[in-house]
Chain A
Amino acid sequence: MPRRSDDGLAFGVALLLHVGVIALFSLNLSPEERPKPVSPPPAIQITAVSAETVDVQLDTLRERTRQEQQRREEAQRQVEEQRQAAIEAKRKAEAERKAAEVQRKAEAEARALEAKRKVDEERKEAERKAAEEAKRKEEERKSAEEAKRKEEQRKSAEAKRKEEERKAIEAKRKEEQRLAEQEEQRRISEMRAKMAAEEQARQAAEAATKQREYDRRMQRALAVYLADLTNRITGNWLRPPGFEKSIRCQVVVRQSTNGSVLSVNADECSRLGGDAFARSVEAAVRKSSPLPLPDETDLFDPEIAITFTTD
Chain B
Amino acid sequence: MPNTFLLTRLFTLLTLFLCTTAHARLEIEISGGTEAALPIAVAPFQWQVKGSAEEELHSIISADLRRGGLFRPLAEGDLPERPKGALAVKFDKWRQAGMESLVIGAVSANTEGYQVEFQLLDVVSGKQLIGYSIPVRKDGLRRVAHQIADLVQERLTGIKGAYNTHIVYVTVVGSNPKKRRYRLAIADADGYNEQIILESREPLLSPTWSPDGERLAYVSFESGRSNIYIQSVRAGSRRLVASYPGINSAPAWSPDGRLLAMSLSQDGNSEIYVKDLSSGSLMRITNNYAIDTEPTFSPDGSRLYFTSDRGGKPQVYQVEMNGIRAVSRPTRVTYEGSYNARPALSPDGKQMSMVQGEGNTYRIAVMNLDSGRVRVLTRSRLDESPSFAPNGQMVIYASEVGGRGVLEVVSVDGLSHQRLRVDQGDVREPAWSPYIGK
Contacts and interface: CB of A to CB of B under 8 A. Distances in A.
B158 A240 contact: yes
B25 A304 contact: yes
B386 interface: no
Residue from B9, B70, B129, B157 having most chain A Cβ neighbours under 10 A: B157
Interface in B37-64: 37-39
A240 B70 contact: yes
A276 B26 contact: no
Contacts of B125: 264, 282-283, 286
Interface string A280-305: 11111011000000000011010111
B156 interface: yes
B32 interface: yes
A274 B32 contact: no
A279 B31 contact: no
A103 interface: no
A239 B33 contact: yes
B12 A215 contact: yes
Contacts of B33: 234, 237-239, 280, 284, 308, 310
Contacts of A237: 30, 33-34
Contacts of A264: 125
A211 interface: yes
B210 to A, nearest CB: 26
Nearest to A253: B26
Contacts of B412: 242
Contacts of B133: none
A241 B157 contact: yes
B27 interface: yes
Interface string A220-256: 0010001001100111011111111000000000000
A140 B100 CA distance: 135
A282 B101 CA distance: 12
A32 interface: no
A104 B9 CA distance: 143
Task: Report the interface size class on chain B.
Answer: 35 or more
Contact of B12 (A218, A235, A238, A242): A218
Interface string B1-27: 100010011001100100001011111
Given A283-B122, A287-B95, A309 B29 contact: yes
A49 B154 CA distance: 179
Interface in B129-185: 129, 154-159
A298 B12 CA distance: 12
Most chain B CB within 10 A, of A239, A304, A310, is at: A239
B373 to A, nearest CB: 13
Given A243-B35, A304-B26, A282 B70 contact: no
A311 B32 contact: yes
Contacts of B21: 305
A306 B29 contact: yes
B26 A301 contact: yes
A241 B35 contact: yes
B126 to A, nearest CB: 9
B16 A222 contact: yes
Contacts of B122: 279, 283
A304 B28 contact: yes
A207 B21 CA distance: 30
Contacts of A306: 27-30
Contacts of B37: 238, 241
Contact of B129 (A230, A273, A279, A281): A279
Q: Which of B9, B30, B33, B156 is most buried by chain A, counting CB atoms within 10 A of its CB?
A: B30
B28 A307 contact: yes
Contacts of B23: 303
A306 B16 CA distance: 16
Contacts of A280: 33, 38, 156
B124 A282 contact: yes
Nearest to B39: A238
Contacts of A242: 69-70, 157, 159, 393, 411-413
A234 B28 CA distance: 11
A218 B155 contact: no
B36 interface: yes
B120 to A, nearest CB: 10
Contacts of A283: 100, 122, 124-125
Contacts of A207: 1, 5
Interface in B300-332: none
Contacts of B24: 301
A127 interface: no
A280 B37 CA distance: 12
Contact of A241 (B25, B38, B95): B38
A271 to B, nearest CB: 13
A207 B9 CA distance: 12
A230 B29 contact: yes
A243 B9 contact: no
Contact of B38 (A211, A240, A273): A240
A275 interface: yes
Contacts of A235: 34
A186 to B, nearest CB: 31
A203 B216 CA distance: 89
A238 B157 contact: no
A305 B24 CA distance: 10
Given A211-B8, A305-B27, A234 B32 contact: yes
A239 B35 contact: yes
B389 to A, nearest CB: 11
B30 A230 contact: yes
Given A240-B156, A240-B157, A283-B100, A211 B5 contact: yes
B30 A309 contact: yes
Nearest to A203: B1
A240 B13 contact: no
A69 interface: no
Contacts of B393: 242
A243 B37 CA distance: 11
The CB with the most chain B CB atoms within 10 A, among A230, A238, A277, A284, is that of A238
23 contacts: A211-B8, A230-B29, A234-B31, A234-B32, A237-B30, A238-B39, A240-B156, A240-B157, A240-B158, A274-B158, A276-B155, A276-B159, A277-B158, A279-B156, A283-B124, A286-B124, A299-B26, A301-B26, A304-B26, A304-B27, A309-B31, A309-B32, A310-B32
Given A264-B125, A273-B158, A281-B30, 10 more contacts: A211-B5, A211-B8, A219-B16, A240-B156, A241-B70, A243-B159, A279-B122, A305-B28, A306-B28, A309-B32
Cβ-closest 10 pairs across A and B? A237-B33, A276-B158, A240-B157, A239-B33, A286-B124, A301-B26, A304-B26, A283-B124, A307-B29, A274-B158
